[in-house]
Amino acid sequence: MPQRFIELFSSQEKLSDKWILLLIFLFPIAGPVVRHWNSSIFVLLSLTSLYFLFVKKDRKPLHKEEKIYLWTFFLFFCVFLVSTISNGYSWEKINVEGLGTEINFLLFIPIYLLIKEINSAKKVLFAGVILSIFVFFIFSLYEYFYIWPHVKPNMLRGAYSQLFLGQITAFTLLISYYSYKQWFNSKYHWLTIAPLITFLGLLIIGLSTVRLAYLTIFFGTFIIIVLHLDKMKSRLLAFALVMSIFTLIYYQVDSIRLQTDTAFTNLSTFFSKTANIHQRTNTSVGKRLEVWRSSQYIFKEHPLVGIGNGNYTSVIQKHIKQGYVTKHVQKMGHAHNTFVEVLISKGSIGLIILLMIFYFPVYIAWKNKEQSKENFLTLCTFATAISLMSIGESMLINKNNGISYLLIFTAILFSSMISEIKATNKNR
């Protein structure tokens, strides 16, 4: 692989192309373990794309699907402005409540136009994905042996938190399946590298003690199996094998069993008729479920464009006083669910546009899966991963590092798919 990667870089004639490829290659390598790694690369790509937006004249033409998709990002940013202004935000409050974060969705447009020009973007990104698991693991060893003896509770935290490290490792591990297929033509190389990367990734996820990462890797693995097997009998056998492996891990690793059992206990308590309101909602899972339940009251009053970013704590006070919602949610800054968070802050219009951002590439891939089945499988796995990541957190829309993962991977996977589909249709 190193030789092929060097050849890939050396084949680029323009220094600017090599610079862009270098940024794309570096992007997935150290995001959860080096502070500001992803956001810094995103900024550099943004500045580069804005420069070429005005300098480059002979760009590849945009196809209909691309124009539709780019409009969704522009409209998503517009909904943010409308929701904040309509809720009486001052310019200062708009800045405080996420203008710098939301503008990333607007920057997706020039970044996409830049990446569209680079034919090798996906291959270079996937090379970085393969290397990233090893980087995560080396950092985890450092954290385990150097930091753990001095910090309690014992868990891998990464540069930001165990949540970010666990989730991004799960996401990376799922996408890495397609990285193997992109880079390792030899079956021997695949059988050597894939199990090693899988083991290292699962170890990091287990030590992070992040339940949402467990959920992401489990169901994400199941989706990959379903997508790649044609016969139902093969799917059931493969799923049984996955269940057996994860059951073995569950019973052998105490931290995983403890976190999982706690989640199930909190979930059953929330829906228990015998538990009082304090017992049901004063847990990590209970607070999240109560926030999601409370979103119905906000949606009924602000159905179209929501209440604006960062306004949940103040708006929910009225419903707490009326007795519809427990007071345990009043310190929750956001919904801890991407879809609920967008419904609250940007209303039904914002949610529809977000669903377009998440699933429009899958729809296009499905329509053209005969021309490019591999892209269809990759985008389905990607959509599955970001959907699972969104169930218990909203890092993909309100954290710069999380947003950068969503936007960079989306731009590269979607542009690569469109390019291959159009090339296939042209050759027919």
State the Cα–Cα distance between residues 410 and 403, nearest whole angstrom.
10
State the Cα–Cα distance between residues 186 and 197, nearest whole angstrom.
16
State the Cα–Cα distance between residues 257 and 241, nearest whole angstrom.
19
φ, ψ of residue 371 to 5 degrees: the values are -80, -30
State the Cα–Cα distance between residues 186 and 344, nearest whole angstrom.
49
**pLDDT given at position 162:** 86
Among candidates 125, 127, 78, which has minimal Cα distance to 103?
78
Q: What is the CA radius of gyration of the chain?
A: 22
Among candidates 384, 405, 325, 428, which has minimal Cα distance to 160?
405
**pLDDT given at position 279:** 66
Tokens matching residue 11: 């084949």
Q: What is the DSSP letter of 328?
A: G
**pLDDT given at position 315:** 86
**pLDDT given at position 387:** 95
Other C-beta atoms closer than 10 Å to the C-beta of 72 total 17
Instruction: Estimate to the nearest angstrom the gap between the alpha carbon of 93 and the chain centroid.
Output: 27
- Give the torsion sign (CA, 39, 40, 43, 49): negative
Tokens matching residue 330: 């009043």
Amino acid at 240: A
**pLDDT given at position 34:** 93
Other C-beta atoms closer than 10 Å to the C-beta of 29 total 22
State the Cα–Cα distance between residues 175 and 413, nearest whole angstrom.
11
Other C-beta atoms closer than 10 Å to the C-beta of 300 total 8
Query: Please, what's the b/e burial string for 198-209 (b: 16 or more CB within 10 A of its CB; e: otherwise)?
Result: bebbbbbbbbbb
- Give the torsion sign (CA, 234, 383, 418, 414): negative
Instruction: Estimate to the nearest angstrom the gap between the alpha carbon of 193 and the chain centroid.
Output: 24
**pLDDT given at position 242:** 64
Among candidates 426, 428, 376, 386, which has minimal Cα distance to 406?
386
**pLDDT given at position 413:** 96
**pLDDT given at position 15:** 72
Burial class (CB in 10 A: 0-12, 13-18, 19+), 364: buried
Other C-beta atoms closer than 10 Å to the C-beta of 423 total 12
Among candidates 204, 115, 111, which has minimal Cα distance to 419?
115
Alpha helices in 11-120 (DSSP H): 15-26, 37-55, 64-86, 91-94, 100-115
Amino acid at 220: G
State the Cα–Cα distance between residues 415 and 278, nearest whole angstrom.
49
pLDDT in tens, the chain (428 residues): 666 666 666 666 677 788 999 999 999 999 999 999 999 999 999 999 999 888 877 788 899 999 999 999 999 999 999 999 998 888 788 887 788 899 999 999 999 999 998 888 998 999 999 899 999 999 988 888 877 656 655 678 888 888 899 999 999 999 988 887 776 665 556 566 778 888 888 888 888 888 889 889 888 888 888 887 766 555 566 666 666 666 666 555 666 666 776 766 766 776 766 666 666 677 777 788 888 888 899 999 999 999 988 888 888 888 888 888 888 777 777 788 999 999 999 999 999 999 999 999 999 999 998 877 888 999 999 999 999 999 988 899 988 899 999 999 999 999 999 998 887 776 66
| 292 Cβ neighbours under 8 A, 6+ residues apart | 335, 337, 340
Burial class (CB in 10 A: 0-12, 13-18, 19+), 261: exposed
**pLDDT given at position 314:** 85
- Give the global pTM: 0.90
End-to-end CA distance of the chain: 32
Q: What is the DSSP letter of 96?
A: I
